[in-house]
Amino acid sequence: MLYDLHELQRSFLTPLSMFTETGAQMFSHPCSPLAYTPMSRHIAATYELMHRLGKDYEKPAWDLPFTEIDGKQVAVSEQVAASRPFCRLVHFKRQGIPQDRDPRVLLVAPMSGHHATLLRDTVRTLLPHHDVYVTDWIDARMVPLSEGGFGLDDYVHYIQAFIRKLGPDLHVMSVCQPTVPVLAAISLMAASGDKALPRSMVMMGGPIDPRKSPTQVNKLATTKPYSWFEDNVIERVPARFPGAGRRVYPGFLQHAGFIAMNPDRHLQSHYDFYMDLVKGDESDAEAHRRFYDEYNAVLDMAAEFYLDTIRIVFQEYRLPRGEWTIDGQTVQPCAIESVALLTIEGELDDISGQGQTRAAHGLCDHIPAERKQHYTAKGCGHYGIFSGRRWRKDIYPKIAAFIRQA
């Protein structure tokens, strides 16, 4: 019912959003006489702010047409290397560059509300010296019911299939939520003697052991019973989508949760955007647009996956306790011996607290010490470990060196 009410609200807001977009153009476009009237900037800024607050945000494009290699611009094309009902494996093919020239990297994007394009800066930075593949998760509302469900175990199976397709000469990077299923996938492959094991795994800001330095995200998952999440945040996809009838954790509810974590910061950001428009500071205004075009674009998660994550990862801590079983086999990270391990945490991470990702070292106790590294990025929050200046200048060089050493 809540999802249907949300769609009804969207149907009312769409005309308003279109009207305010037109109004903003009328009072700001240099060819419009209204742009030269008194208070035109204030009126245009008001219209644009209303437009952006009311519009529907679609999945952003990757927008990575080129990279620079050895001082030369090289064209990049997106190719689907593998396709499954809930995920596309996207290959960023660098035209004219042999695929075996640089290390092959599987970048496992989080399925935690935002689209995989949230890792655009991660991919952009990797491209000059790596052959990059990314898990591009599909909005669950677009997956027909006939394709079946998708739980945390299915996520592990997807990762294993992608590793087998690309390995063994492969390096796996996981950001945030997927650190848990990636560690599980590699653990099970190691225990079974799978020949496609990757050479290294890089785990960044993920809840390997959420008992360490719990954040507000961890506390929310533990202060409410499992039944509360099932009863209060799970909805059925409305009839107008391909996945009609599928049980999901809707993107709009996830977005509301994101905003609720830091409402003052978002309010200030929108006020600053309005003032930038009034002052004519287009560069700062455009930076705001780019950030919120990505931040406000969210996808629905399959209910099975979300509820499994709540129970297995955040409430029962099955991975660090050695109690997680998939297809009758216990997930044992101690089975990993040959895969090099690098963990990265942000000093100021308010999503995955310090120690949660580093816990992988204690679990993977059969990996030789010389093949394990950890790095804590000073002054770095959650998003800063994979995007922005600190990612590019401080963190990426360590990852690149580790991959080549592995």
What predicted TM-score, i.e. pTM, was given to this entire model?
0.90
Q: What does the block give as tokens for 24?
A: 């903003």
Q: Return d(Cα 1, Cα 401) in angstroms, integer.
A: 51
Do residues 209 and 342 share a domain? yes
- Say yes or no: 262 and 315 in one domain: no
Q: Flag whether 40 is in a domain.
A: yes
Strands 104-108 and 171-175: parallel
pLDDT reported for residue 172: 98
Residue 237 lies in a domain: no
What pLDDT shows up at residue 5? Answer: 79
Pair 186, 106: CB distance under 8 Å: no
Q: Examine residue 235 and state whether it is found in any structural domain, yes or no.
A: no
What φ, ψ does residue 393 adopt, rounded to 5°? -90, -35
202 and 332 co-located in one domain: yes
Asked if the structure places residue 244 within a domain, the reply is no
49, 173: one domain: no
**Domain endpoint, select from 295, 323, 351:** 295
How many structural domains compose the chain? 2
Task: Establish if 240 belongs to a structural domain.
Answer: no
Asked if residue 93 lies in contact with residue 133, where contact means CB atoms within 8 angstroms, the answer is no
Same domain, 337 and 191: yes
First to last CA, the chain: 51
Between CA 280 and CA 78 the distance in angstroms is: 36
Q: Which of 340, 361, 355, 352 is nearest to 385 (CA)?
A: 352
Query: Looking at the structure, do residues 17 and 75 belong to the same domain, yes or no?
Result: no
CATH code, domain with 132 = 3.40.50.1820
What is the span of the domain harbouring residue 118?
A: 66-220+301-405
- Residue 86 falls inside a structural domain: yes
Do 42 and 83 fall into the same domain?
no
Same domain, 103 and 47: no
Domain-embedded: residue 61? no
* 142 and 239 Cβ atoms separated by less than 8 Å: no
pLDDT score at 52: 86
Same-domain check for residues 105 and 14: no
Q: Could you tell me which residues are beta bridge partners of residue 106?
A: 133, 172
Asked if the structure places residue 99 within a domain, the reply is: yes
pLDDT lower than 50: segments of the chain: none
- Check whether residue 382 and residue 361 sit in a common domain: yes
- Residues 95 and 213 placed together within one structural domain of the fold: yes
Residues in the chain: 406
In this structure, are 176 and 30 located in the same domain? no
